[in-house]
Amino acid sequence: MQFLGAINFSLPLLASATETADSSMVLAAVLLSLVVIYLASKVGGELSNRFGLPPVLGELVSGVVVGVSVLHLLVFSEGGTDSNLIITFLQGTAGLSPDAAAGVFAAQSEVISVLAELGVIILLFEIGLESNLKDLMAVGIQASVVAVVGVVVPFTAGTVGLMTLFGIDALPAIFAGAALTATSIGITSKVLSELGRLSSREGQIILGAAVIDDVLGIIVLAVVASLAKDGAVDVSKVVYLIISASGFLLGAIALGNFFNKSFVAIADKLKTRGELVIPAFIFAFVMAYLAAAIQLEAILGAFAAGLVLEETDKRKELQKQVIPIADMLVPIFFVTVGAKTDLGVLNPAIPSNREGLIMATFLILVAIFGKVITGFVVFGQPGINRLAIGVGMIPRGEVGLVFLGIGSSIGILSKPLEAAIIMMVILTTFLAPPLLRIVFPDSEAVGVASELILNTSGTPLAVESPTAINSKSNDAANPEATPDGH
Amino acid sequence: MQFLGAINFSLPLLASATETADSSMVLAAVLLSLVVIYLASKVGGELSNRFGLPPVLGELVSGVVVGVSVLHLLVFSEGGTDSNLIITFLQGTAGLSPDAAAGVFAAQSEVISVLAELGVIILLFEIGLESNLKDLMAVGIQASVVAVVGVVVPFTAGTVGLMTLFGIDALPAIFAGAALTATSIGITSKVLSELGRLSSREGQIILGAAVIDDVLGIIVLAVVASLAKDGAVDVSKVVYLIISASGFLLGAIALGNFFNKSFVAIADKLKTRGELVIPAFIFAFVMAYLAAAIQLEAILGAFAAGLVLEETDKRKELQKQVIPIADMLVPIFFVTVGAKTDLGVLNPAIPSNREGLIMATFLILVAIFGKVITGFVVFGQPGINRLAIGVGMIPRGEVGLVFLGIGSSIGILSKPLEAAIIMMVILTTFLAPPLLRIVFPDSEAVGVASELILNTSGTPLAVESPTAINSKSNDAANPEATPDGH
pLDDT reading at B476 higher than 70: no
pLDDT reading at B468 higher than 90: no
What letter represents residue A180's amino acid? L
Same domain, A212 and A138: yes
Same domain, B171 and B258: yes
Same domain, A231 and A365: yes
Angle between helices A298-310 and A256-269 (to 10 degrees): 70
Domain assignment of residue A251, yes or no: yes
Enter the pTM of the model: 0.84
Same domain, A249 and A350: yes
Q: pLDDT class for B83, splitting at 50, 70, 90?
A: low
Q: Find, in chain A, the residue whose alpha carbon is nearest to that of B334.
A: A14
Q: Which residues of A touch B114 (CB under 8 A)?
A: 26-27, 30, 107, 111
Domain assignment of residue B139, yes or no: yes
A441, A460, A477 - which closes a domain: A441
CA-wise closest residue to B106 among B13, B9, B20: B20
Which of residues B316 and B99 earns the better pLDDT score?
Answer: B316
Domain span holding position B6: 2-10+20-115
Same domain, A272 and A362: yes
H helices of A97-200, where?
98-130, 133-138, 140-166, 170-179, 185-194
Phi first, then psi, for residue B396 (nearest 5°) are: -100, 165
Q: What is the pLDDT of residues A139-171, one digit of tens each?
A: 889 999 999 999 999 999 999 999 999 999 988
Q: What is the CA radius of gyration of chain A?
A: 23
B10/A224 Cα distance (integer angstroms) = 12
Q: pLDDT class for B166, splitting at 50, 70, 90?
A: very high
Determine which of A1, A9, A10, A472 to mutate to test the interface with B (most B C-beta atoms within 10 Å): A10
Separation in Å, CA of B382 to nearest CA in chain A: 34
In sequence order, what are the beta bridge partners of B183?
B396
Q: pLDDT class for B236, splitting at 50, 70, 90?
A: confident
Q: Find, in chain A, the residue whose alpha carbon is nearest to that of B50.
A: A271
Find the CB nearest A111 among B111, B222, B275: B111
CA-wise closest residue to B214 among B420, B439, B395: B395
Q: What is the pLDDT of residues A331-381, one digit of tens each?
A: 999 999 888 888 887 788 888 778 888 999 999 999 999 999 999 998 888
Domain assignment of residue B363, yes or no: yes
pLDDT at A129: 92
Residue A454: CA count within 13 A, CB half-sphere: 17
CA-wise closest residue to A377 among A219, A143, A179: A143
Find the CB nearest A41 among B278, B298, B323: B278
Determine which of A1, A9, A14, A42 to mutate to test the interface with B (most B C-beta atoms within 10 Å): A14
Q: Find, in chain A, the residue whose alpha carbon is nearest to that of B236.
A: A3
Determine which of B1, B8, B13 to mutate to test the interface with A (most A C-beta atoms within 10 Å): B13
Same domain, A313 and A367: yes
Residues 6+ apart with CB under 8 A from A425: A179, A396, A397, A400, A401, A404
Q: Which residues of A touch B7 (CB under 8 A)?
A: 221-222, 225, 237, 295
Q: Which residues of B touch A281 (CB under 8 A)?
A: 34, 38, 328
Given CA atoms B198, B201, B204, B205 in this order, what sign does their dihedral have?
negative
B43/A70 Cα distance (integer angstroms) = 48
pLDDT reading at B441 higher than 90: no
Domain assignment of residue A235, yes or no: yes
Domain assignment of residue B240, yes or no: yes
Q: What is the pLDDT of residues B249-291, one digit of tens each?
A: 888 888 888 898 999 999 999 999 999 999 999 999 999 999 8
Indicate yes or no: CB of A225 within 8 angstroms of CB of B10: yes
Q: Which residues of B touch A320 (CB under 8 A)?
A: 482
Find the CB nearest A285 among B31, B281, B410: B31
Find the CB nearest B324 among A80, A118, A324: A324
Strands (E), B79-205: none
pLDDT reading at A18 higher than 50: no
B147/B105 Cα distance (integer angstroms) = 40
A65, A95, A115 - which closes a domain: A115
pLDDT reading at B68 higher than 50: yes
Same domain, A67 and A148: no
CA-wise closest residue to A480 among A119, A204, A129, A38: A129
Decide: B21 and A225 in contact? Cβ < 8 Å. no
Which of residues B470 and A272 earns the better pLDDT score?
Answer: A272
Indicate yes or no: CB of B324 within 8 angstroms of CB of A322: yes
B305/B252 Cα distance (integer angstroms) = 8
Domain assignment of residue B479, yes or no: no
Indicate yes or no: CB of A281 within 8 angstroms of CB of B38: yes
A121/B14 Cα distance (integer angstroms) = 12
Same domain, A248 and A280: yes
Domain assignment of residue B95, yes or no: yes
pLDDT reading at A220 higher than 90: no
A441, A458, A478 - which closes a domain: A441
CA-wise closest residue to B338 among B83, B43, B26: B43
The CATH number given to whatever domain includes residue B360 is 1.20.1530.20
Q: Which residues of B touch A398 (CB under 8 A)?
A: 12-15
Domain assignment of residue A481, yes or no: no
Same domain, B157 and B256: yes
Same domain, B176 and B270: yes
Same domain, A183 and A132: yes
Count: domains in chain A: 2
Separation in Å, CA of A200 to nearest CA in chain B: 21
Same domain, A72 and A210: no
Separation in Å, CA of B357 to nearest CA in chain A: 18
Indicate yes or no: CB of A404 within 8 angstroms of CB of B17: yes
Q: What is the pLDDT of residues A279-325, one digit of tens each?
A: 999 999 999 999 888 878 888 899 999 999 998 999 999 999 999 99
